[in-house]
Structures are given as structure tokens and as C-alpha cells.
Chain A
Amino acid sequence: DAGVTQSPTHLIKTRGQQVTLRCSPKSGHDTVSWYQQALGQGPQFIFQYYEEEERQRGNFPDRFSGHQFPNYSSELNVNALLLGDSALYLCASVPGLAGRLDEQFFGPGTRLTVL
């Protein structure tokens, strides 16, 4: 079982650019959540996808958007990048929509640096 996988591992962008991060959930999981972890901080919930729809959203601007595909994989898109978007972006998957955080598996993250 490959667990949750994310790509790319690292990414460097400049202000104003757009970025797409990818996540494949753990086998058997159909719900994907995205988190932003700034340096020295805990993960912050961005949004959650289930059945290809955004189900819950944290306090993030519309520049952050996502998508879920029929195979449950997901993308996180960030437009008009700001320096403050530099962070580790974590993907997590869980079976079902019941919000069972104790069953949540995290991926290794994508380190985004905005210059």
C-alpha cells in the first residue's frame, strides 16, 4: 500500500504565478483534505473534497481552489501567488465523509517556495 502520495516534492515559483499540486489518496480512501503548514506553525485546513465536490472549507481566499477526479486523486491550485503562500502543503485522505480524523492519513507534503 503506497499510502498518500504527493507531487512534486519541492516547487519554486515567483509572485503572481499559479501553481498546481497533486495528491493521490491511500488505497480505499475517497475523501481528500488539503492543509497549509507555514514554517513553525501547525497545519491549517484549506478544504476537503468528496465525490468530486468541495465539502468543507477553511479560512482561505478564493485564490485557493481544488479539484477531485473520479479516481479520488486531487489537485490544489493557487493563483496569484504571494510570498506568504510559501509553506508545506499537506494532503490527507480518509475513508468516507464522516470526518474521522483518527483515520486520516497524511502525505509527505509539497514544499512551495514563492520568491
Chain B
Amino acid sequence: AQSVSQHNHHVILSEAASLELGCNYSYGGTVNLFWYVQYPGQHLQLLLKYFSGDPLVKGIKGFEAEFIKSKFSFNLRKPSVQWSDTAEYFCAGSGGSYIPTFGRGTSLIVHP
């Protein structure tokens, strides 16, 4: 079965710390991978996406993610977090059917 798992459910960091949120997927065949973010009181929105090509993808607000096929991973990174990055982060994947599967999310709190 297709699945996406996020290992860190709650992460607390201080401003300027580096961030890495784990995401592993289980898909057969073609996989499209995404990271979404939900800021407090706001809608779910796309941070970045991977369809094919360069495995290192850059998104908005300084976020990036690396697709490592051998590890079935798509971890999200940011070198220096800000207080405004406090949010819920969701990894998602889709295969050929385009039906998306979301991970359970990681709650990130950044202390100023």
C-alpha cells in the first residue's frame, strides 16, 4: 500500500537553528512528493514539490528538500529557522493515480 510517514511529530527549535524534518514514502513506480505547510490560522499551502529531475528541490521561504530514492526519503531542510516558521508541516506523495497520501504532520515551534 502507498504510504507516507513522518517520524518527528513535534519539534522545538530556537531561532537560527537548522531544521530537518524526516519523510519516508512507500510507493511502487512513479512517485511525486510534496511538502505542505499550515501556519496558525491559515490554509494548507504548498512549500515545494518533486516530480522528476534534480533531486534537490527548493521551495518558498528558504526551504529545500532532497529526494533520495535509495532511502525512500524526502526530508525537508532549512539552514536557519525563524519564529515565523512556526507551523504544521505535512509531507505528501502521489503515484500514477494522483490520489495524494499525506503524512500525519510535524508540529514545529520556533522560539524567538
Interface status of B97 (Cβ within 8 A of chain A): yes
| B43 close to A104 (CB less than 8 A) | no
Q: How large is the interface on A (under 10, 10 to 19, 20 to 34, 35 or more residues)?
A: 20 to 34
Contacts of A38-69 to chain B: CB distance below 8 A: 40-45, 56, 58
Measured between beta carbons, the chain A residues less than 8 angstroms from B94 are 99, 101
Interface status of A102 (Cβ within 8 A of chain B): yes
| A56 close to B98 (CB less than 8 A) | yes
Main SS at interface, chain B: strand
- Summed over the interface, the residue pairs from A and B with CB atoms below 8 Å come to a total of 48
- Of all chain B residues, the one with the shortest Cβ separation from A92 is B44
| B92 close to A106 (CB less than 8 A) | no
Q: Given the known A-B contacts A42-B105, A43-B90, are A106 and B98 also in contact in the complex, defined by CB atoms under 8 Å? A: no
Measured between beta carbons, the chain B residues less than 8 angstroms from A95 are none
- Of all chain A residues, the one with the shortest Cβ separation from B44 is A106
Contacts of A90-115 to chain B: CB distance below 8 A: 90, 98-99, 101-102, 104-108
Q: Given the known A-B contacts A101-B34, A101-B92, A101-B94, are A106 and B43 also in contact in the complex, defined by CB atoms under 8 Å? A: yes
Measured between beta carbons, the chain A residues less than 8 angstroms from B99 are 45, 56, 58
B-binding residues in A (CB < 8 A): 3-4, 40-45, 56, 58, 90, 98-99, 101-102, 104-108
